[in-house]
Amino acid sequence: MARRARSPSAGHPLSSLTPLLIVPEMLLLALPALSEHSLLLGVHSTGARPDLLPGKDGTSRVMVVDFGGGTRDVALLQFKRSVAGGVGLSCKGVSRFHRTGGSDIDLAIAHEILLPQLMEQNGIKALDVDFRRKRDQLLPPLAVAAQHLKESLSNRIAHLQALSQFDENDPHLASSLPSPIEVNTKHPDFGVVKLTKPTLTLQELRKVSALFESSSWALTVRQGQTWQPSSDSINSSSPLS
């Protein structure tokens, strides 16, 4: 609430315009869906697209999820059709997870997918390096690669969907980086190692996503923490937890 109250005064020195209305971000995110369903013009959608305002009173509630790089916001919006045919919009509530976002998925991909690839290619066994070395030396550069793989795979999926060619069961749908990733283990026996052709498949991405649907992850969020691999999982007999 304090940041929202400071928004008008923060922007005023940078512009000659006087702010008239501060529109919540979650409402702006809902505008594309409104426009797509012709609700901004108060026109009932036809054909395959369902009307977002069903019911006799022309009222509907929509949940909007904004999964950002470091946060995840969830808002419940209410749309109500007016007598004149327009649409009234109100925000019923916003829940913000300030410590959970895309960077947590990147770290999970690095730990669950790329770390086993790196260790297998370089003959590193699970107990050859300790928890702190994996956390501080191996995972950070792998997380950067994971972000690129995740975004590339997401863009490819969106492209296939636009062409109506997306097959969610395609085992070969994947994204790879053309250049190897160098990781300085700072270990006297391994030194600098390389991950050749880092790859992320759709099935692997789904596996990682499932981690964020578990009850243990939900508990982590409630405790206000970011996702972190445990020392037990990193030092298990298998590279995968």
Q: Do the domain assignments include residue 241?
A: no
Integer Cα distance of 207 and 115 in angstroms: 15
Q: Do the domain assignments include residue 84?
A: yes
> Total structural domains in the chain?
2
Written as one letter, the residue type at 64 is V
17 and 129 inside one domain: no
68 and 83 inside one domain: yes
pLDDT score for 13: 55
Is residue 208 within 8 A of residue 149, CB to CB? The reply is no
Q: Do the domain assignments include residue 173?
A: yes
Closest CA to 140 of 111, 178, 173, 165: 111
**Taking 70 as the threshold, does the pLDDT of residue 37 lie above it?**
no
**Taking 60 as the threshold, does the pLDDT of residue 194 lie above it?**
yes
pLDDT score for 85: 65
Residue span of the structural domain in which 37 resides: 2-97
Residues 6+ apart with CB under 8 A from 62: 30, 33, 52, 76, 77, 78, 79
85 and 186 inside one domain: no
**Taking 80 as the threshold, does the pLDDT of residue 156 lie above it?**
yes
- Select from 67, 97, 127 the last residue of a domain: 97
- Select from 97, 127, 150 the last residue of a domain: 97
Q: Is the pTM of this model over 0.85?
A: no
- Select from 97, 129, 149 the last residue of a domain: 97
Integer Cα distance of 158 and 144 in angstroms: 22
Integer Cα distance of 50 and 48 in angstroms: 6
112 and 229 inside one domain: yes
113 and 155 inside one domain: yes
163 and 49 inside one domain: no
111 and 188 inside one domain: yes
Tell me whether strands 72-81 and 174-176 are parallel, antiparallel or unpaired: unpaired
Q: What is the pLDDT of residues 2-33, one digit of tens each?
A: 555 555 555 555 556 666 666 667 777 777 76
127 and 228 inside one domain: yes
